[in-house]
Chains A and B, each alone.
Chain A
Amino acid sequence: MHSLSRRLLVSVSVPLALFFGVMMLVLDTGFRALSERSLQELLDSQMVSLIAAADPQPDGSYAPTPQELDPRLRTPRSGLYAQIRSQHHLWRSPSTAGLSSDFGALLVPGERHLAYAAFGHDRVAIASRAIQFADDPKGTRALTFSVAVSLSPYEEQQWRFRRKLLGWFAGLMLVLLATLAALLRWVLGPVRRMEREIHEVEEGRCEALGAGYPRELSGVATNLNALLLGERKRVARYRDTLGNLAHSLKTPLAVMRSSLSAGAESGAVGAEIDRMTGIIEHQLKRAAASGGALLGQAPVEVAQVAAELRATLLRVYAGKDLSLELAIAPATLFIGDRGDLTELLGNLLDNACKWCRSRVRLTASSDESAGARERLTLVVEDDGAGISADDRARVLGRGVRADQNVPGHGLGLAMVHDTVDLYGGQLSIDSSPLGGARFSLRLPGR
């Protein structure tokens, strides 16, 4: 029940079905009353013509003249049957031939009776009436006239009527529901559009919700856009502040360091300056790493960031005979902050360039089947000495403090680890087929 349209459809179709059900019941009852009346009329008229046609026979019984009989009474199993019965005589219409027919008991003169019975497989309604003729004052020849009519044509009609009724009502209900669904689609269109646009903003395909929403939703859209913009500005200001803070702390540290004499640089004061620098570096960078895409921020092209870093590193390591290969699947995207990706790859590639003999390789690919936070795979490997199993654990261990990280692997790896954690990704270290260390990152991407 999480869809508005489904809720509406269900809540409308239940009363609709109830209404149609009651309607069917009323119509059905009406139809049945009507057919019962016409049955009654048929019985009555047949009864009257039977009584009128009854003639006394020489043996003292009564029977209609065959010529005056309704043709149906002459046809076997026609559905219309008749009987004239007295204490000593019995006449049955030819239509009962071959049927086990029981028209019921003799009646006292003046009595009328209506009963239902079965002639073979045929259900019938039987009307009976006892008559004493005026020329028989003792009533010794009292006659019981019975007329039976098969019910099956009536029942069949009733069923046909019901089927037709059901067909019409079901069709009508379907048409109504379909109309309602179409209406809902039209009415809820803007809501659906908003949902789609919010999704696009989330995925970074557009920056804000579009214009042209109906009055009821335009306020929501405007507020949402204001919120998005505000959030982006807030994060930008936050990062600027952190950057400025780092800058304004490190410049005095640089002055302090430069004012130490050459010999004192490695002394206690120098060591403390190094430690403070490490803390500023580590903590401020960690605070500035966003750890996720801002809403409305476009995904980052991995290939572009990698190419820029490659150019930078080749220049910085110009004194080293080094090949830096990029193997990046086309249109590999990182969903997150560009600065964070630059920092991650910069640190890993810088380390690799520092420790390699001559080869560094960056591989990037995306895996649509992986979880949302691990779709992008980045692998940085080199042909250097590698990292021993003990050091791998230390590098990956949580809470490595800025001033006690693995020697030679600098602050960079702690930073990489923190950032990957912020994105809910995975970082692993093993050996590369090139011979050195291999860092594998799994991050949100496409």
Chain B
Amino acid sequence: MRVLVVEDEAALRDSLKERLGEAGFTVDVARDGNEGLFAGLEYPLDVAIVDLGLPNLPGLEVIRRLRAARKTYPILILTARDNWQDKVEGLQAGADDYVAKPFHFEEVLARLQALLRRAGGWASPQLNCGPVMLDTRAQTVAVSGAPVELTTFEYRILEHLMLRAGDVISKTELTERLYDQDFERDSNVIEVLVGRLRRKLDPHDELRPIETLRGRGYRFALPRDTAS
């Protein structure tokens, strides 16, 4: 998952970048409103965190312009002015949720994951597709109840595919979600990772959870459980 953090306070920005990275996100940062708007418009993001009190261009304006440019990824507001009037204005501008400063990092993470799930049409933090279960909070995966050990990259690819289960996702998109800046990575890496995922999830080649669509990308083929 690729996240943009727009925050003018350096210490806060660095800490968010570090801890979101640890939590499995690919993190872009911006120091003010203008940088934030540029990054928000140009990078292939899954979610953005925007502080409302930004220099140069106010956070509300950044959000408005992103929405005006038809950017539909979820946006989480960070604000020190914790009053309802600001929350109402923020969400009217196009944000999806808010966290008041000072925040517990766990709360920011939980809200981000909830937003991502909702964006993919998932209501609960547990994604269930047939026998495959992925828990976005615990970052664990199990098949038919048996836990499966995945590397960080394998997990990120599976999470991305499962959040948008049924959609075709290109190799380029997957590559961008794994790395910060370097788009020139060999797409073979993705093929290798997907191959390893298939072997771990489906050692006996019975489920065929990940489909390859030649020239277009991959698709998570197992149907979502309607209960989740």
Is B117 on the interface with A (CB-CB < 8 A)?
yes
Is A179 on the interface with B (CB-CB < 8 A)?
no
Which of the listed residues B83, B87, B97, B106 has the most CB atoms from chain A within 10 Å of its own CB? B83
* Stretch of A84-92, A247-255, A325-333 with 4 or more beta carbons under 8 angstroms from chain B: A247-255
> Is A277 a contact partner of B102 (Cβ separation < 8 A)?
yes
Min Cβ gap B49→A in Å is 13
Least CB separation from A350: chain B residue: B84
The residue from A243, A273, A316 contacting B97, defined by CB atoms under 8 A apart: A316
B contact residues, total (Cβ < 8 Å): 32
Min Cβ gap B88→A in Å is 5
Collect the chain B residues with CB atoms within 8 Å of residue A251's CB: 9, 12, 53, 80, 101
Complex formed: what's the CA distance from A319 to B103 in Å? Answer: 21
Collect the chain B residues with CB atoms within 8 Å of residue A256's CB: 102
Is A258 on the interface with B (CB-CB < 8 A)?
yes
> Is B92 a contact partner of A259 (Cβ separation < 8 A)?
no
Q: Which of A335-363 contact B (CB under 8 A)?
A: 338-339, 342-343, 345-347
> A316 with B98: in contact, given A265-B104, A343-B84 (CB under 8 Å)?
yes
Collect the chain A residues with CB atoms within 8 Å of residue B11's CB: 255, 258-259
Complex formed: what's the CA distance from A246 to B9 in Å? Answer: 16
Is A413 on the interface with B (CB-CB < 8 A)?
no
Least CB separation from A314: chain B residue: B91
Collect the chain B residues with CB atoms within 8 Å of residue A255's CB: 9, 11-12, 15, 102
> Is A262 a contact partner of B105 (Cβ separation < 8 A)?
yes
Collect the chain A residues with CB atoms within 8 Å of residue B117's CB: 319
Is B114 on the interface with A (CB-CB < 8 A)?
yes
> A247 with B53: in contact, given A277-B102, A319-B114 (CB under 8 Å)?
yes
> Is A246 a contact partner of B80 (Cβ separation < 8 A)?
yes
The residue from A254, A309, A316, A346 contacting B101, defined by CB atoms under 8 A apart: A254
Collect the chain A residues with CB atoms within 8 Å of residue B80's CB: 246-247, 250-251, 254
> Is A246 a contact partner of B81 (Cβ separation < 8 A)?
yes
Q: Which of B1-31 contact A (CB under 8 A)?
A: 9, 11-12, 15-16, 19
> Is B15 a contact partner of A250 (Cβ separation < 8 A)?
no
Collect the chain B residues with CB atoms within 8 Å of residue A22's CB: none
Least CB separation from A250: chain B residue: B80
Is B213 on the interface with A (CB-CB < 8 A)?
no
Complex formed: what's the CA distance from A208 to B28 in Å? Answer: 51
For A378-410 the 0/1 string (1 means CB < 8 A from B) is: 000000000000000000000000000000000
Collect the chain A residues with CB atoms within 8 Å of residue B87's CB: 312, 316, 346
Chain A contact residues, majority secondary structure: helix
> Is B102 a contact partner of A253 (Cβ separation < 8 A)?
yes
For A197-239 the 0/1 string (1 means CB < 8 A from B) is: 0000000000000000000000000000000000000000000
For B77-103 the 0/1 string (1 means CB < 8 A from A) is: 000111111011001100011101111
Collect the chain B residues with CB atoms within 8 Å of residue A18's CB: none
Complex formed: what's the CA distance from A246 to B82 in Å? Answer: 9
Collect the chain B residues with CB atoms within 8 Å of residue A311's CB: 88, 91-92
For A298-317 the 0/1 string (1 means CB < 8 A from B) is: 00000000001101100110
For B108-134 the 0/1 string (1 means CB < 8 A from A) is: 000000100110000110000000000
The residue from B84, B100, B103, B104 contacting A309, defined by CB atoms under 8 A apart: B84
Min Cβ gap B71→A in Å is 17
Which of the listed residues A246, A321, A345 has the most CB atoms from chain B within 10 Å of its own CB? A246
Complex formed: what's the CA distance from A338 to B106 in Å? Answer: 33
> Is B114 a contact partner of A315 (Cβ separation < 8 A)?
no
Min Cβ gap A284→B in Å is 10
Is A77 on the interface with B (CB-CB < 8 A)?
no
> Is A342 a contact partner of B85 (Cβ separation < 8 A)?
yes
> Is A315 a contact partner of B103 (Cβ separation < 8 A)?
no
Collect the chain A residues with CB atoms within 8 Å of residue B16's CB: 258
> Is A315 a contact partner of B105 (Cβ separation < 8 A)?
no
> A253 with B101: in contact, given A247-B81, A312-B91, A315-B96 (CB under 8 Å)?
yes
A-B residue pairs in contact (CB < 8 Å), sample of 15:
A243-B81, A246-B80, A251-B12, A251-B101, A253-B101, A254-B9, A255-B15, A258-B15, A265-B104, A312-B87, A315-B96, A316-B87, A316-B97, A321-B123, A342-B83
Would you list the 10 A-B pairs with minimal beta carbon distance, nearest first?
A346-B84, A258-B15, A254-B102, A254-B101, A250-B80, A253-B102, A255-B11, A247-B80, A312-B91, A257-B102
Q: A256-B102, A311-B88 are in contact. List 4 more A-B contacts (CB 8 A).
A: A247-B53, A250-B100, A254-B9, A318-B118
